[in-house]
Amino acid sequence: MNATRTQHPPVTEARGVLAFWFGLKSPGKKDDRRVQSALGLLHRQAARGQLEGWREEARERLALILLLDQVPRHLYREQPRSYATDLQAQALTRRFFERGDWRPFEPIERFYAALPYLHAEAPALQEQVNPVIHACAEAIPELAFMGPIADLYRETIARFGRFPHRNAMLGRSSTPLELRFLEEEWAPRRRRGRRAPGAGPASAPAPGPALGGHARTGASRSEPGGASPPGAARPA
């Protein structure tokens, strides 16, 4: 693979995080090395609480959410560490809900600002984020599949209080009911969601790690905006 396509100079500021992230097209496993080289250092700083100054201004807070929620799902793919900073990201999403200062955001930006709540194993957060995800899905054709996915996540947490598909990775024992659910409901409904109109290729992964691509309000643009299902976007 061409090294120039897998490497990127380290990003050092919030606007650079946004420019890099929203410049990716359908981010997935193919982008893991680029994400590592561009955002790995900032992710580690964010995880250590060294970017707390980014919490206040809305767009800097969005950049911090990407570093804590999306980036680790690239850096630590299929590892428990990919969830290690979820609670930090959720605290930042809570601030958006409390302050409402994401109102000027494009739908794709609001989608990413809300995404940590979709990854939360908490019924109240799932209820709160569900209408936000639906609104973003209605505004962006490429995200149409996310409405049914958000419903699936909400129902899963209401039923089990956790995402059963994470159990093996996190060393948690699954109940027979959870195993049957994963086979008979979770997997089929995620496949149907990915094949919904506007969802892009049937092979596109469901949301979780990183949903990039980035079409704003349904129209393609080259910077902060845009969205098509990413390969990094494993479930929750």
| 56 pLDDT more than 60 | yes
Q: Give the pLDDT confidence score for residue 197 in this predicted structure.
A: 44
Angle between helices 107-118 and 146-160 (to 10 degrees): 20
pLDDT, tens only, 70-109? 999 999 999 999 999 999 999 999 999 999 999 999 999 9
CATH topology of domain 3-220: 1.25.40
| 141 pLDDT more than 80 | yes
Banded pLDDT at 194 (limits 50, 70, 90): low
Q: Give the pLDDT confidence score for residue 5 in this predicted structure.
A: 60
Q: Give the pLDDT confidence score for residue 28 in this predicted structure.
A: 86
Mean pLDDT score of the chain: 85
Q: Give the pLDDT confidence score for residue 97 in this predicted structure.
A: 98
Q: What is the pTM of this model?
A: 0.83
pLDDT, tens only, 8-39? 899 999 999 999 999 998 788 999 999 999 99
Within 8 A by CB and 6+ apart from 60, the residues are 14, 53, 54
Output b/e per residue, 42-58; b: 16+ Cβ within 10 A: bbeebbeeebeebeeeb
Distance of CA 10 to the CA centre of its chain: 21
